[in-house]
Amino acid sequence: MLVSATEMLKKAKEGHYAVGQFNINNLEWTKSVLLTAEELKSPVILGVSEGAGKYMTGFGTVAAMVKAMHDELGITVPVALHLDHGTYEGCYKCIKAGFTSIMFDGSHYPIDENVAKTKELVAVAHAMGMSIEAEVGSIGGEEDGVVGMGECADPDECKRVADLGVDMLAAGIGNIHGKYPANWQGLSFETLDAIQQKTGVMPLVLHGGTGIPADMIKKAIDLGVSKINVNTECQLSFADATRKYIEAGKDLEGKGFDPRKLLAPGAEAIKATVKEKMELFGSVGKAE
């Protein structure tokens, strides 16, 4: 059974580790992440952006696939199915589709409107037994057409949103989506510490986990980050393994063109990346 992210993140905050959110893009992604989480006995959050949901023909399809795969594989570790950077409308679609967790990204609204919409969605999500993530201060880079420059969130605004009863809070601390540019200034731990002081036991979320140095990740976890999102890194490792397979001419050998063979190296590469991240985040063995 899929679960909300509330309990796993409470435990992560108390235990000073982070649960990885790994975005899924298709069947291979989902299978690779679930199998790795089970192997490492780690809780996991499957993230679905609105773009990925559309690509997979809709949130209903995604929820049905994840639930069926979870059961068929006999997964025993806690797994949450989570909407990533959801619009107001997207949140309601995922509630209807049977997701166990949603993120409402109201960071582009004026703070009063972000608060009003978040408050409404908190009430609806909690009535359904779902966890909800909110965002204050945009995350840099681009994801599904949402562009942010990596601004740092206002700690007082973070407190306003945290006090609405959200289960986790994504706050911009200079992090960005996608590959980090050469002139990236690094994470603002001063901002993160100030937010932590205002929000207390609230699990904090770090978006744009790809490319942040390991020492920064560990320091962020020490300062209250309990959920770290990874997407680009899995996409890069998948693409690299697939390119090598084709460049080596493997697709021309026997039935190497069969998608089950063609996509296998990429799926294994995703597993390796997820394993590396779970070890770095400290979540290995936390589901036992």
Residues forming the annotated binding site?
85, 105, 135, 177-178, 207-210, 229-232
Could you tell me if 84 and 23 are in contact, meaning their C-beta atoms sit under 8 angstroms apart?
Answer: yes
Tell me if residue 84 is catalytic: yes
Q: Which amino acid is at 198?
A: K
* Catalytic entry in 71, 84, 144, 167: 84
Q: Which amino acid is at 140?
A: G
Whose tokens are 């049977």? That residue is 98
What is the C-alpha separation between 154 and 190, in angstroms, rounded?
Answer: 12
What is the C-alpha separation between 46 and 107, in angstroms, rounded?
Answer: 22
Q: Name the binding residues for dihydroxyacetone phosphate.
A: 178, 208-210, 229-232
Strand 146-148 versus strand 141-143 pairing type: antiparallel
Task: Label residues 207-234 b or e (16+ Cβ within 10 Å = b).
Answer: bbbbebeeeebbebbebbbbbbbbbbbb
Active site residues: 84
